[in-house]
Chains A and B, each alone.
With several copies, the nearest count.
Chain A
C-alpha cells in the first residue's frame, strides 16, 4: 500500500491494517522519519517537501516490487507526506511484515534507503538565514549502494 499525502498519518492504525487478521506474520518492522529542529546549517523552523506527482507513485511502486522480489513479505506500507512540515512532524513511514524477522527488518531498511535516493522528493528548509534546498548526502547514496546486487 503506497500513499502520497499532505495529511499526517496514524502509525497505530496503519500498522493495524497491515497486520490484523494475518497470522502468518511473525515480524513487523517499521521506520518513521521525522522533521528535526536542526540541520547541517543550524536550527530549522520548518521544511517544505515537494514531489513529482505521477513519477513518485511509479518509483515507489517499483521499490515495493523490488522488495517483494528479494524477501518473502506478507505486506508493505509506504506513506510519504508533502507540503510544509514543522519539527517533530512525521514525514515518511515504511513498514513490512513477514513470517521471518530478518526479512521484515532487512526489507524495511532497504525500502527507506532506496526511497531516499530514488523517490522524487525534495526538501526546502526554513531557518534563521532564510530558505535553503537540502543537498543530497553521499551517505544516503552509500546506504542505497549496499543493496545493489
Chain B
C-alpha cells in the first residue's frame, strides 16, 4: 500500500510517502490509522487529532470507514487551505 502524507501530517511523520505492508486485519481507513499510530511517537502525534485527518483513497475523498486494499494509494492530510 502506498501512503502519502501532506502538510502537518507529513511534517509530524517526517516523510512525504512510504510503501507499507499493512497486516491483514487492516481492512478500513480506521484500521489503517490505528495501526499507523503504533509505528512510533511521530505517527501517534501526526494522527492524534484523528477526526481532523482527511483521507483520500486513489485520489477520492473517503470517510474513515472506507475499505483499503494493498494496491491502494492512500493519502492522509489536514483540511485543505488552498485558494
- Determine direct contact between A and B, CB below 8 Å: yes
A-side contacts of B81, CB under 8 Å: 116, 121-123, 133-136
Q: How far is the CA of A116 from the CA of B6 in the complex (A)?
A: 16
Binds B, one of A6-14, A17-25, A47-55, A66-74: A47-55
Indicate if the CB atoms of A121 and B80 lie closer than 8 Å: yes
Cα A118 to Cα B80 in complex, Å, equals 7
Tell me the dominant secondary structure on chain A's binding face: mixed
Tell me the residues in window 48-83 of chain B with beta carbons closer than 8 Å to chain A beta carbons: 56, 59, 61, 75, 77-83
Most B CB contacts (10 A, CB to CB) among A91, A112, A123, A133 go to A133
- B83 adjacent to A112 (CB under 8 Å): yes
Report yes or no: B82 in contact with A122, Cβ–Cβ below 8 A. yes
A54 closest partner in B (C-beta) = B59
* A136-B78 Cα distance, complex, nearest whole Å: 8
Please tell me if A83 contacts chain B, counting CB pairs below 8 Å: no
B16's nearest neighbour on chain A, judged by CB, is A50
Q: Which of B1-33 contact A (CB under 8 A)?
A: 4, 6-8, 10-11
A52-B56, A55-B56 known; A133+B79 contact, CB < 8 A: no
Determine the distance from Cα of A51 to Cα of B83 in the docked complex, in whole angstroms. 11
CB-defined A-B contacts under 8 Å, sample of 13: A50-B6, A50-B7, A50-B10, A58-B59, A92-B83, A116-B83, A117-B79, A118-B61, A120-B77, A121-B81, A123-B82, A133-B11, A133-B78
- Going nearest first, the 5 A-B pairs with the smallest beta carbon separation are A121-B82, A136-B79, A116-B83, A122-B7, A55-B59
